[in-house]
Amino acid sequence: MRRFAALYAQLDRTASTLAKREAIAAYLHDAPPADAAWAVYVLGGGKLRRLATATELRTAAQAATGYAEWLIDASYQHVGDLAEAIALLLPPGDGTLANTSLQVWMEDWLPALGKLDPPMRLAQLQMWWQALAPEQVFLLNKLLTGALRVGVSQRLVVQALALWSQLPTDLIAHRLSGDWQPHAAALSALAEPDSGAEHLTDRPYPFYLASPLEQAVETLGDRNDWLAEWKWDGIRAQLMRRGGEARLWSRGEERLDGRFPELEIAAAALPSDAVLDGEILAWNAAGHLPRAFTALQKRIGKLKPGAKLLADTPVRFMAYDLLEHDGEDLRQKPLRERRERLAELLREMSPALMLSPALPATDWPALAAEREQSRARQTEGLMLKKLDSPYRVGRKRGDWWKWKIDPYTLDAVLIYAQLGHGRRAGLYTDYTFGVWDRGHLVPVAKAYSGLDDAEIATLDQWIRGHTLERFGPVRSVEPVHVFELAYEAIQRSSRHKSGVAVRFPRILRWRTDLAIRDADKLDDLRRLAMD
């Protein structure tokens, strides 16, 4: 625990990517293999069970310090992180547990804590605090809440592992993908020489991600050098057939087995050792078009969908790349060749496995005109892929671009505000906006981003002076300010008071030029919403 807490503190103190990578690599060199494996898992975004709520931590801190609840809350608001605030408030521990291995904490002690009754759990937590130094208390609290964000991405962990092992990052990323489990043997396997058979495992390939197209499309050169296809709005996934079995992996490296049985049945006709990259879509067979993403959401949470759900919400796998065929890793082959082999493979397959069509427009203006049909086709715009490109790892700029359509916009009135988190914990940065419905403002969207620091500070000061009511951490404010919001889609929703739900709302600008009477009307949004 002591060594990993020191690493965590080091990572927390610097914004330098290089410094973080070198610090993690140095830790991997020095730490016991089992501890290092857990560090890789935790820092790389491995799922941690939440073992203590914020309320439990506050209660335990109050009992351990004797401080009033308001003082603990005020300290939290000042610091911006409850785990850190508690570590600063507690008296220094004696350090008797400081040298206990991270493996013991993660595999024995923390899981056991979750099985205790609440009073025993709080007592155990206080005993641990008394036996740890402040930076170790800070780390322990972060592990308990499952919120270990410290400015380290999975890609950064992969780079640190590559530096430690002296192996290529692409190889490390593949070995770390899928259901990687943190133990000493698994860490050792990450550093083994390349056998050439990495692809013959149950792990998915690391996904290749496109970058947003921010320049004029004409700057990409000759239109004939690029594959253009629709940007499908579904679940990015790899469909794999290994050892006579089909497996589905999401981009988040979650096994989706059993959730989409029609795709697994269709995949039975694939040759053994084949991997397709594509998108899972809810499908309207009559219209030969995908349905809105909200339809797919009905299927996502069902581990074993029933017959009615399967019939009401059929899905398709829209394949757009072939990563492996007959056991041959095709990722370094040009996209042109991979697409040709994919088209040939899918020619005799079930309709559940579809080839993402290439758009035939011969020049950029014609393709731009085609792009205008994106919403009518339930897509997000276009994907542009260089025909001679390999299948890379992660978000590498240059070969794959996403050319999304402009978002929807609406003008809405600020009606509620809530304090933010992290470095903005003392500022009102979480906003709720409303539109007009029969003379009243009805909540329609929440947004957390889009304003700069100066605008946030100005708005925060105004909110504090123009609060109408308080509902716990939420304040209702005078309806004065209008903001332009962007969002990607809008759907009817019985779960929302407004009857509609907007997808990915964010603030575009503060409309100081508009009065609140000029804000949008709910009826207009309802007309936009798709059934």
Write down the pTM of the prediction.
Answer: 0.79
Residues in Cβ contact with 18 at an 8 Å cutoff, skipping those fewer than 6 apart = none
pLDDT band at 358 (very low <50, low <70, confident <90, very high): very high
211-403 CATH pick, 3.30.470.30, 2.40.110.10, 3.40.50.2300, 1.20.1630.10: 3.30.470.30
Q: pLDDT tens digits, residue range 6-15?
A: 999 999 888 8
418 SS3 class: strand
Residue 207 has phi, psi (to 5 degrees) of -75, 145
Q: What is the pLDDT of residue 521?
A: 93
- Enzyme catalytic residues: 231
> In the chain, where does the domain assigned CATH 3.30.470.30 lie?
211-403
Percent of the chain scoring above 90 in pLDDT = 62
Q: What is the pLDDT of residue 244?
A: 84
61 SS3 class: helix
- CATH architecture classification, 408-528: Beta Barrel (2.40)
Return mean pLDDT, the chain.
90
- CATH architecture classification, 2-145: Orthogonal Bundle (1.10)
> In the chain, where does the domain assigned CATH 2.40.50.140 lie?
408-528
How far is residue 92's CA from residue 79's CA, in Å, rounded to a whole number?
18
18 SS3 class: helix
Average confidence (pLDDT) over 365-391: 94
> Which two tokens mark 69?
């609840």
How far is residue 429's CA from residue 427's CA, in Å, rounded to a whole number?
6
User: Starting at the edge strand that comes first in sequence, how are the strands of the sheet with 211-212 ordered?
Assistant: 211-212, 400-404, 379-386, 226-232
Percent of the chain scoring above 70 in pLDDT = 98
Q: What is the pLDDT of residue 30?
A: 93
Q: What is the pLDDT of residue 526?
A: 87
The single-letter DSSP state of residue 466 is: S
- Going through 438-505 in order, the beta strands assigned E by DSSP cover 440-447, 467-471, 474-477, 482-487, 489-492, 500-503
Average confidence (pLDDT) over 213-236: 95
pLDDT band at 199 (very low <50, low <70, confident <90, very high): low
> In the chain, where does the domain assigned CATH 1.10.3260.10 lie?
2-145
pLDDT band at 53 (very low <50, low <70, confident <90, very high): confident
* pLDDT tops 50 at residue 531: no
